[in-house]
Each structure stands twice: as structure tokens, then as C-alpha cells.
Amino acid sequence: PLFCRRYVAGGQCKSAARLEGKVAIITGANTGIGKETARDLARRGKVIVACRDTAKGEAAASEIRAETGNQQVIVKKLDLADTKSIREFAEKFLAEEKELHILINNAGVMLCPHSKTADGFEMHLGVNHLGHFLLTFLLLECLKQSAPARIVNVSSLAHHGGRIRFHDLHGEKSYNRGLAYCHSKLANVLFTRELARRLQGKSQRGAEFTANALHPGSVHSELVRHSFVMTCLWKIFSFFLKTPQEGAQTSVYCAVAEELDSVTGQYFSDCQPAYVSPRGRDDETAKKLWSVSCELLGIQWD
């Protein structure tokens, strides 16, 4: 059982990199993988806990402050299902902070019944992809000027089951909540790929500016709360699932590991490079998704 448990736990981030004077934003950091990522980074530097439920965020931040002794764990309201909230978050952050060195796009929804965001986007696509796409766009100049800087997008092995259905992005013609999640996770991989391509040579003072994606593993967390069946299965097979702390390892690795200073546009799992599906390597689809995302959000990102 001990060997099996170690195998399930997967890779560990062994970097002791410090982040003194640096600022990290982690979306959805009030619970699960995001909270554990925040706990680790709080031992290294300043962390912004960006989440929809600020009461849960404050409870998580208070716990992390007490454990790490770092008082620079700050909660900010961010609802990725509402572009107005995303813009307000970015505006307040930029007014209060001069630099941003790490952006971890971690928050996500999974297996939601068909529903729409405040702006009319299908929920999985709207939160998991479009919300983070807009947030990254709004914070990009700050990241560039703070380089070396890193953008980390939490995707999933589920991207292998996804496809970008441009003819029905919002699931109005047909909808399957499992596939909708897979589609959004593929969008994360394609976004990372195209973002990394566009960022090359764009950093300030020759400092590295990178974007990478990752699969955290199958983690025992609240992500499956919308599915009674999955919640039951997660409880039954919890021994074979990663803990949130184990699931956070690759996020932390992508955010701080020294050996990734100049690595960009890659996909990781268990703190090492992982296989990307053929659809996740389709540059034409990545470019089209970028263009369509800008159109949906009403932004120009060249």
C-alpha cells in the first residue's frame, strides 16, 4: 500500500527557489489545488488569492498566514464567470501593485449542467478558458515589465478528449457536460501554445517571459461537486487519487523551478514534460481560437 500510495502521489517539486520581492496571483486559491499552490508559494513570497467566494478565500488565507508566517497573503475578489468582475480585479490590482511575476490560471469548473456565464458564454468555456484569457490579456503588460515572469495554465489530461467546436462553442446545438470540460481543457493547451509563440522576443531587458500548461493529476478535490456519480466514485477510490497538496506540485514546479527559466509553450505532468494530443498541437486551431476568443471578449490582442 505504501508503494502504491507513493506511485499515486506522482512527481514532487524539489525547487527551493525564493520569491522575495516577487508577486504571484493564483486564481481559485481558496480551495483544492489552488489553495495548496498558494500555501507553497506563500513560503517563498507574496501571494494574491483571487477567488469568487472571498469568505472562503479569507479563511484559506488566514490559515496559510498562520502556518507560513507570511502576512503577504492577500485575498481579492475575482469571478471568472463575469468579465466585469475580471476587469475590476485587474484594474484594482494594477492600481495597487507595481509588478507581477507569476500568474497561475488555476480556477476551473467541471461537469456543470448546461448554463451560461454573465456574458452568455457556456460555463466551462467561459470560466476555464475565456475568463483566464481575458485576465491574462489585462495583466500582460505588467507581467512583461516585471520579467522574468511566468504564466502557468492548469489544464488536464482530459484535453485528449476535447475538440474546439467552432460551429457550437456554447453548446446550444448539442451539449455533454463531460465533453464540455474536455473542450475547455483543450482550449487551455491551445491558448498556452499560441501565447508562448506570441510572447517570444517580447520580454523586457532580455529577461525570460514564459507560458506553460500542466495536468495536475487526478486529485481528490471539490472540482467534481456538480456530479453525484463522480463525487461517489471519488470517495470510493480516494486512495488512488492525489491529495490537493500532491496535485499542486506541478503547478508549483512550473511557477518556480529554475530549470524552466527559458522553457515555454510546453505541457507538464508530474513535474516533467508530458504528451500533448494531436489536437493540442494544431497551430491553425490555436490561432483561430485566439481570434475567436478576442472577438467574443471584444478585445484586440495582436
In a domain, 129, yes or no: yes
CATH (domain of 291): 3.40.50.720
In a domain, 34, yes or no: yes
In a domain, 302, yes or no: no
In a domain, 290, yes or no: yes
In a domain, 149, yes or no: yes
Task: Work out the pLDDT band at 230, boundaries 50, 70, 90.
Answer: low
Q: What is the pLDDT of residues 60-112, one digit of tens each?
A: 999 999 999 999 999 999 999 999 999 999 999 999 999 999 999 999 999 89
Output the pLDDT for position 4.
Answer: 55
Burial 183-222 (b: 16+ CB within 10 A, else e): bbbbbbbbbbbbbbeebeeebeeeeebbbbbbbbbbbbbe
The boundaries of the domain holding residue 112 are 1-295
Task: Work out the pLDDT band at 48, boundaries 50, 70, 90.
Answer: very high
In a domain, 301, yes or no: no
In a domain, 250, yes or no: yes
Task: Give 290-298 contacts, CB < 8 A, sequence gap 24+.
Answer: 290/191, 290/194, 292/166, 292/169, 293/129, 293/130, 293/133, 293/191, 296/121, 296/130, 296/169, 297/83, 297/130, 297/133, 297/134, 297/137
**Count: domains in the chain:** 1
- Catalytic residue positions? 181
Output the pLDDT for position 231.
Answer: 57
